[in-house]
C-alpha cells in the first residue's frame, strides 16, 4: 500500500469516528480533518462532505507551499481565498474544493509532532467557548488525565473571520504557545466556534478530543459549584514530566 492509501485510510477511520452523530462532536457538515503525507503534501476533507460518511471521494491532496504565501501576506477577499485553495490542489481537475479551514490545517501540519488534525464542534466545548466565561474557562488545566491526553495548556483563540484571517491569527497564537511551552498545543479552542485536536497518530487526536470534551463537562459542573479550581502550575508540570505518566501516555496513545 502507498503512503496515501495507509494515511488516507487512517484519516477516513478517524473522520468517521469523530463524525459519529451520537458522540455529539460534529453533526451534518460540521468539522474537518487532515493528515500529513510529506513535507509539502497533506490530505484534507473537501468542503460539503460529512465526517460521518467520509470516503476517499471526500479527501483532497493539497500542497502547503501553495498556501503559505497567503498566510504570510495581507488578508485577501473571499474570491481570492477560493482561487488560492483551488490552485493548491495537487490534481487540478473537478470542482471539489478544499475546506476553507485548509489554511490552518496546512500550518498545523507543518509543525513538528503534528501528523493528524481533527476539528470538531462538541456541545460541551462550545457551551463554554460561546459563554461569557470562555477566556477564564480555558486558562488552566483541571485534572491529571486532562494533562496526559491534552497537554499542559489549552491554546485559546478569540473569534475571528473564518479562512485566511483566522488561520493567520491562529498561527500567531500557536507560535506564542510553542515559545512558551516548547511544544505545539494538543488542543486549541476557537471562541464561538469549536475545538482542534492535534497528534502524531489518529489515536492521539481521538483521545485528546474525548478527554477534552470530558474536561469541558467538568468545567461546566465547576461553574455550578462556584467556579473551576485549576491545578497549580507546579503540579501541571509534575504530571507532564512524571515517568509513570509518560508510560501511561504511551500505553493509551
Ligand atoms: Zn468549524
The answer to whether the Cα torsion of 151, 174, 204, 52 is positive or negative is positive
DSSP bridge partners of 62 = 42, 89
pLDDT value of position 18: 97
User: Ligand 1 center to residue 27 CA distance, Å?
Assistant: 11
Q: What contacts 119, CB < 8 A, 6 or more positions away? A: 31, 32, 33, 101, 105, 194, 195, 196, 197
Q: Is the pLDDT of residue 150 over 70?
A: yes
Instruction: Name the pTM for this structure.
Output: 0.93
Measured between alpha carbons, how far is 211 from 146 in angstroms, rounded to an integer? Answer: 6
Task: Show the cell assigned to 17.
Answer: 469516528
From ligand 1's centre to the CA of 64, what distance in Å? 20
Tell me the C-alpha distance between 53 and 24, whole Å: 15
pLDDT at 251: 57
Bridge partner residues of 33 (DSSP): 118
Distance 246 CA to ligand 1 centre (A): 31
Interstrand relation of 116-120 and 194-199 (parallel, antiparallel or unpaired): antiparallel
- Flag whether pLDDT at 252 surpasses 80: no
Distance 103 CA to ligand 1 centre (A): 13
- pLDDT of res. 76: 83
pLDDT band at residue 242 using 50, 70 and 90 as cut-offs? low
Q: How far is the CA of 145 from the centre of ligand 1 (A)?
A: 26
**Three-state SS letters, 230-244:** CCCHHHHHHHHHCHH
E strands within 132-215? 155-157, 187-190, 194-199
- The predicted-structure confidence for 113-128, as pLDDT tens digits, reads as follows 999 999 999 999 999 9
For 74-114, the pLDDT digits (tens) are 878 888 888 999 999 998 877 789 988 999 999 999 999 99
Q: Is the pLDDT of residue 247 over 60?
A: no
Distance 30 CA to ligand 1 centre (A): 6
pLDDT > 70 in the chain, percent = 94
Span from the CA of 86 to the centroid of ligand 1 (angstroms): 20
- Cα dihedral 18, 20, 23, 27 in deg (nearest 10): 90
Q: What is the CATH number of domain 3-252?
A: 3.40.225.10
Indicate the average pLDDT of the chain: 91
Hey, CA dihedral for 7, 46, 96, 113, is it positive or negative? negative
Q: How far is CA 155 from CA 12, 15, 52, 158, 223, in A?
A: 26, 22, 26, 10, 21
Domain boundaries, the chain: 3-252
What spacing in Å lies between the alpha carbon of 138 and ligand 1's midpoint? 18
* Ligand 1 centroid, distance to 119 Cα (angstroms): 6
Residues with CB under 5 A from ligand 1 (ion): 194
**Quick one: pLDDT band at residue 11, thresholds 50, 70, 90?**
very high
What are 162-182's pLDDT values in tens digits? 888 899 999 999 999 999 998
Residue 117 pLDDT: 98
Q: Given pLDDT bands bounded at 50, 70 and 90, which one contains residue 1?
A: low
Amino acid at each position: 500500500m502507498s503512503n496515501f492509501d495507509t494515511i488516507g485510510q487512517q484519516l477516513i477511520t478517524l473522520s468517521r469516528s469523530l463524525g459519529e452523530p451520537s458522540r455529539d462532536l460534529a453533526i451534518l457538515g460540521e468539522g474537518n480533518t487532515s493528515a500529513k503525507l510529506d513535507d509539502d503534501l497533506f490530505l484534507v476533507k473537501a468542503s460539503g462532505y460529512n465526517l460521518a460518511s467520509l470516503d476517499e471521494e471526500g479527501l483532497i491532496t493539497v500542497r502547503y507551499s501553495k498556501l503559505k504565501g497567503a498566510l504570510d501576506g495581507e488578508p485577501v477577499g473571499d474570491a481570492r481565498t477560493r482561487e488560492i485553495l483551488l490552485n493548491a490542489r495537487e490534481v487540478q481537475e473537478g470542482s471539489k474544493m478544499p475546506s476553507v479551514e485548509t489554511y490552518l490545517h496546512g500550518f498545523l501540519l507543518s509543525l513538528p509532532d503534528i501528523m493528524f488534525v481533527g476539528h470538531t464542534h462538541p456541545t460541551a466545548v462550545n457551551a463554554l467557548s460561546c459563554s461569557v466565561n470562555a477566556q477564564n474557562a480555558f486558562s488552566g488545566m483541571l485534572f491529571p488525565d486532562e494533562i496526559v491526553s491534552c497537554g499542559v495548556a489549552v491554546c485559546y483563540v478569540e473569534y475571528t473571520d473564518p479562512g485566511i484571517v483566522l488561520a493567520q491569527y491562529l498561527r500567531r497564537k500557536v507560535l506564542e504557545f510553542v515559545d512558551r511551552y516548547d511544544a505545539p498545543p494538543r488542543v486549541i479552542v476557537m471562541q464561538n466556534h469549536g475545538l482542534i485536536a492535534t497528534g502524531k497518530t489518529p489515536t492521539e487526536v481521538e483521545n485528546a478530543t474525548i478527554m477534552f470534551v470530558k474536561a469541558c463537562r467538568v468545567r461546566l459542573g465547576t461553574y455550578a459549584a462556584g467556579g473551576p479550581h485549576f491545578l497549580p502550575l507546579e503540579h501541571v508540570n509534575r504530571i507532564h514530566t512524571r515517568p509513570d505518566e509518560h508510560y501511561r501516555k504511551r500505553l493509551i496513545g
